[in-house]
Chains A and B, each alone.
Chain A
Amino acid sequence: MRNAETGQLTLMGLVIREIQFRKWSFLLAIFAVAVAAAMIFGSEALLRVDQQMTERFLQQKQLETERYIQDHEEQVATTGAKLQDTVRKQMLTLGFNILILPMDVDLSKLHLDGSITATMPYSYAEKLSSSNIVTVNHLLPSVTKRVRWTEQELDVVINGTRGEIPIMHRALKQPMLDAVAPGKMVVGATIQQRLKLALGQKVTLLGREFTISKIQPERGSIEDMSLWIDLAAAQEMLGMQNLIHAILALECECSGDRLSEIRREIAEILPGTQVIERYSQAVTRAEARTESKRAADEALAMAKTDGQATLDRERVQRTALLQKQQALNSMLEPSVIVSTCCVLAVLAFHNFRQRKSEIGLMRALGLGSASILGVFLFKAMLIGALGGFIGVASGIAIIVARILRMRPLVSLPEIWTSASLTAPAAWIPILMILLTVVASWLAAFQAIRQDAAIVLQGE
């Protein structure tokens, strides 16, 4: 290594020659620096990459949880809608219905034999229909009386019903129940069985002729012993012109606790009446369905909190792991630096001992302290730079291999940027140069301090 133009030996050339001569200790020093650089870069980069991966993992988990919850929400919503529909249909067929009765009706008697003892004017039905009532939909005034079907020697409950009275303030809906047309008769199951009646058969009831138009299925109640005829005919037959026993309100927009509201509303319009539920099993079912909807909602809420809890637990665990890793790094890095410093200092000192005579000669040849210091520190910088680059390069190789193994999840340039690995890749070689210079300082200082005369006299 000479000056390129003149071919003269330079101090830098001297350093290179010395390195070539003592290449093994030079390589050993570089190896020590490279290991340290690789460890520091590796631990640093690993931490950063892991942080990024954790972030990503948690984000994905969050997304999954959210998607799961959303799916479930949709499911619950559709189920709920279906349920509501079912309930509504159920209401239509079974009818969540109420019966408006005069106040002084004996309810036990009604339940027992279906007869109602008190009456109210027919105008009540009209009054209700022309009111602003919102809680009931279809109004069916009726008379109900237990009588002896003299022609058949049978006690029956006669129900006189008419078509629906439309509620005035609302658009007319499809009538809920077909009224029993004049001259027709609907009979309960028991009556049909006892009298062996058939559809279209003509029967005489209290002197009037009716045609059987419908047979009700068995209900296990007083209705099995009931028959239905046109309201006007019934009123005439029972001597109850312009009187009714009850108003049946069908498809009430109510469930459970809204009954009290209906009661209040009806009591305001029709004083002296009472309201009872008719097919209360409908309510039970509606309630059951409401309950199941509530349970589904609850399950969903639980899934939400569960998902969040799992996520939170995961986050806590991962954060703890990262913190542990960070703590380890914060211990690893200084100890790697210190031990590498020691190794380098020993190597530098050994090098100085080997070169004592050479340094004495340099002095005799008139080299100043700066040149001698320069020779030692230049070598140290070379070691630091080469070791740093080799170490960081191998660290990068390891990290890149690790990232590539997770490739479907992340792309290398993307994680490299987001984990900002360029910074440690740049500052670690610089740190290593500083480290070797500092570690070699003592030896270099000894070199310029040594008494050349003593060395030159001795071996």
Chain B
Amino acid sequence: MLLSLEGLNKVYSTSSTKVQALCDVSLSLSEGDFVAVQGPSGSGKSTLLLTAGTMLAPDSGRVSILDETPYAMPTNMRAAFRAKHIGFVFQQFHLVPYLSVFENIQAASLGLPASKRMTNSKVEQLLEQFGLESRSRHTPSQLSVGERQRCCIARALLNDPKLLLADEPSGSLDESNARIVMQELRRFSQNGGAVLLVTHDSRAAQSADRIVQMQSGVLTC
């Protein structure tokens, strides 16, 4: 099992309110799986991705990735584990504003030991794959939103992760761009990775093997 989530609960509590973002969520992904999580805004989709991505510890429940339990690891080990095995595509991109497209993709290797960092030819290959060769020296602010999104996915793929967590990767893309992105995700899963895709776009969800619904923190198949 590549990713296994069992009985996850997560409550965000502020001084006045409590929001149950995850409510007894269980989900498993094997190698080659492409799962789409669909649900309305605020239903806890991003929370689920971050929890699965070892970025946000659940209040209860168990997360295991490649038969390891990252939340049991010390912080630095978990970070290294994350760098090695997980790729993120963020809803808000989180591209580094002062790095070029090339460097933004390169930056994915910063969490790896120097000897294991990806070569520049891999970066160039990704640029080509996502149609960004001519944008390689541009900074994110000089890119269109679609280009940013593609840059973001290229970055997530640089380290050859096992698990790709994508939060609305096609949310701001036109139809053809969205189709390219979905094709890449599909190809990633076909190459032995697992993709957990969050989207409220049902057309995008169609690309996935499996669609699960999220509603107020509750996951239903």
Verify if A362 is at the interface (C-beta below 8 Å from B). yes
Q: Determine if A21 and B98 form an interchain contact, defined as CB atoms under 8 angstroms apart.
A: yes
Q: Determine if A9 and B106 form an interchain contact, defined as CB atoms under 8 angstroms apart.
A: yes
Q: Determine if B92 and A357 form an interchain contact, defined as CB atoms under 8 angstroms apart.
A: yes
A369 to chain B, nearest CB (A): 7
Q: Determine if B88 and A364 form an interchain contact, defined as CB atoms under 8 angstroms apart.
A: yes
Number of residues on chain A facing chain B (CB within 8 A):
34
Partner of A363, one of B55, B81, B84: B55
B residues less than 8 Å from A20 (CB atoms): 98
Q: Determine if B99 and A17 form an interchain contact, defined as CB atoms under 8 angstroms apart.
A: yes
Q: Determine if B111 and A365 form an interchain contact, defined as CB atoms under 8 angstroms apart.
A: yes
Verify if A74 is at the interface (C-beta below 8 Å from B). no
Q: Determine if B96 and A366 form an interchain contact, defined as CB atoms under 8 angstroms apart.
A: no
Stretch from A40-48, A110-118, A333-341, A451-459 forming part of the interface with B: A451-459
* Among A6, A358, A365, A456, residue most surrounded by chain B Cβ atoms (within 10 Å): A365
A425 to B90 CA separation, bound complex (whole angstroms): 49
Partner of B111, one of A2, A367, A369, A456: A367
A178 to chain B, nearest CB (A): 120
Q: Determine if A369 and B50 form an interchain contact, defined as CB atoms under 8 angstroms apart.
A: no
- Interface SS of chain B: helix
Stretch from B26-34, B112-120, B127-135, B169-177 forming part of the interface with A: B112-120
Instruction: Return the chain B residue nearest A362 by Cβ.
Output: B110
Verify if B75 is at the interface (C-beta below 8 Å from A). yes
- Can you list, as one digit per residue, whether each of B79-101 has a CB less than 8 Å from chain A (1) or not (0)? 11111100010111010111100
A357 to B12 CA separation, bound complex (whole angstroms): 20
A residues less than 8 Å from B83 (CB atoms): 365-367
Verify if B43 is at the interface (C-beta below 8 Å from A). no
Q: A9-B103, A367-B111, A368-B79 are in contact. Are A361 and B94 (CB under 8 A)?
A: yes
B residues less than 8 Å from A369 (CB atoms): 75-76
A18 to B120 CA separation, bound complex (whole angstroms): 21
- Can you list, as one digit per residue, whether each of A13-46 has a CB less than 8 Å from chain B (1) or not (0)? 0100110111000000000000000000000000
- Interface SS of chain A: helix
A9 to B123 CA separation, bound complex (whole angstroms): 12
Q: A8-B109, A14-B110 are in contact. Are A456 and B50 (CB under 8 A)?
A: yes
Verify if B53 is at the interface (C-beta below 8 Å from A). yes
Q: Determine if B117 and A365 form an interchain contact, defined as CB atoms under 8 angstroms apart.
A: no
A459 to B90 CA separation, bound complex (whole angstroms): 11
Q: Determine if A366 and B50 form an interchain contact, defined as CB atoms under 8 angstroms apart.
A: no
A258 to chain B, nearest CB (A): 104
A8 to B158 CA separation, bound complex (whole angstroms): 13
Q: Which of A232-262 contact B (CB under 8 A)?
A: none
Verify if B46 is at the interface (C-beta below 8 Å from A). yes
B206 to chain A, nearest CB (A): 26
Partner of B79, one of A2, A10, A366: A366
Q: Determine if A6 and B119 form an interchain contact, defined as CB atoms under 8 angstroms apart.
A: yes
A190 to B103 CA separation, bound complex (whole angstroms): 133
A residues less than 8 Å from B79 (CB atoms): 363, 366-368
A357 to B104 CA separation, bound complex (whole angstroms): 14
Q: Determine if B82 and A364 form an interchain contact, defined as CB atoms under 8 angstroms apart.
A: yes
Q: Determine if A452 and B103 form an interchain contact, defined as CB atoms under 8 angstroms apart.
A: no
Q: Determine if B46 and A368 form an interchain contact, defined as CB atoms under 8 angstroms apart.
A: no
Q: Determine if B55 and A366 form an interchain contact, defined as CB atoms under 8 angstroms apart.
A: no
Q: Determine if B117 and A6 form an interchain contact, defined as CB atoms under 8 angstroms apart.
A: yes
A residues less than 8 Å from B107 (CB atoms): 9, 14, 361, 365
Q: Determine if A364 and B94 form an interchain contact, defined as CB atoms under 8 angstroms apart.
A: yes
Verify if A393 is at the interface (C-beta below 8 Å from B). no
Q: A357-B92, A453-B50, A456-B50 are in contact. Are A8 and B106 (CB under 8 A)?
A: yes
Verify if B108 is at the interface (C-beta below 8 Å from A). yes
A3 to B109 CA separation, bound complex (whole angstroms): 13
Verify if A360 is at the interface (C-beta below 8 Å from B). yes
Q: Determine if B80 and A366 form an interchain contact, defined as CB atoms under 8 angstroms apart.
A: yes
Verify if B56 is at the interface (C-beta below 8 Å from A). yes
Verify if A11 is at the interface (C-beta below 8 Å from B). yes
A residues less than 8 Å from B92 (CB atoms): 357, 456, 458-459
- Interchain Cβ contacts under 8 Å between A and B, 15 examples: A6-B120, A8-B106, A8-B117, A9-B103, A9-B109, A357-B92, A358-B94, A361-B96, A364-B53, A364-B90, A366-B112, A368-B75, A368-B76, A453-B50, A453-B56
In order of increasing CB-CB distance, the 4 nearest A-B pairs are A366-B83, A366-B111, A21-B98, A453-B56
Q: Which residues of A contact B (CB under 8 A)?
A: 2-3, 6-11, 14, 17-18, 20-22, 357-358, 360-371, 452-453, 456-459
Contacts A364-B53, A368-B75 aside, 4 further interface pairs with beta carbons under 8 A come to A8-B109, A14-B99, A365-B83, A456-B88
